[in-house]
Amino acid sequence: AIAQKSITVRERVAPDAQRQLLGVLVDCSGSMSGGRRIQLALGVLTNRLEAVVKGKAEVWFGFFDSRLCGTPRLANDMITAKLLLRDVSRNHFNGRDTAIQRCTIQFAELLAKLDGRLPEVCVVTDGEDSVDPNEMVNAFTKLGMVLHAFVVECSNENLCDAARRTGGLAIDKFEGR
């Protein structure tokens, strides 16, 4: 006869909570000073930094006008997110020209080198620049990244088309609530 014994094995398993990895690039050109554009743009960034505080996201963020402004910064825990939340309220908006396409592609390429992972990239802009959607799609496809676009108070159909074609979200004429 074979002895049989039933054993109940219980193991504590923490759920594998996958955090969103996102790069947020905010337009700080002169045209952003119109209307509520700055407020709306910073609202998008603040929303994602609050997700970091809650443990739901990691966010690289940066600013651009005719060039990338400084090095992208990473918020991946509550302490850095809170520090960066304070920083985004400072005046980053300087009145220069805009280079949406060039800066967005450079930002994505830089994040791929800095992080090694492939974040989704969200550009927040008033869209006051021309964009070649085919070039944007080609660049993001080559990197294996998704582009999202929030065009605040204005319209940029080409930028939104590029975002949709990479599988991203595009909101044209975003006016908040």
Q: Which residues contact 108 (CB under 8 A, 6 or more apart)?
A: 23, 121, 139, 140, 143, 145, 147
CA 48 to chain centre: 8
pLDDT at 19: 81
- Around Cβ 36, how many Cβ atoms within 10 Å? 12
Digit-coded pLDDT (tens) for 49-83? 888 888 898 999 898 999 998 888 899 988 888 88
Q: Distance between CA atoms of 30 and 97, rounded to whole angstroms?
A: 7
Q: Distance between CA atoms of 5 and 151, rounded to whole angstroms?
A: 65
Q: SS3 for 166? A: coil
Q: What pTM, to 2 d.p., does this model score?
A: 0.84
Q: Mean pLDDT across the stretch 12-29?
A: 75
Would you say residue 142 has pLDDT above 70? Answer: yes
H or E element at residue 163: helix 157-165
User: Residue 120 corresponds to which amino acid?
Assistant: E
Digit-coded pLDDT (tens) for 105-114? 999 999 999 8
Task: Dump the DSSP string for 77-141.
Answer: SHHHHHHHHHHHTS---------HHHHHHHHHHHHHHHHSS--EEEEEE---S---HHHHHHHHH
Number of residues assigned to the chain: 177
pLDDT at 5: 52
Strands 20-27 and 120-125: parallel
Instruction: Tell me if 37 sits within 8 A of 78, measured CB to CB.
Output: no
Query: What radius of gyration, in Å, describes the C-alpha atoms of the chain?
Result: 20
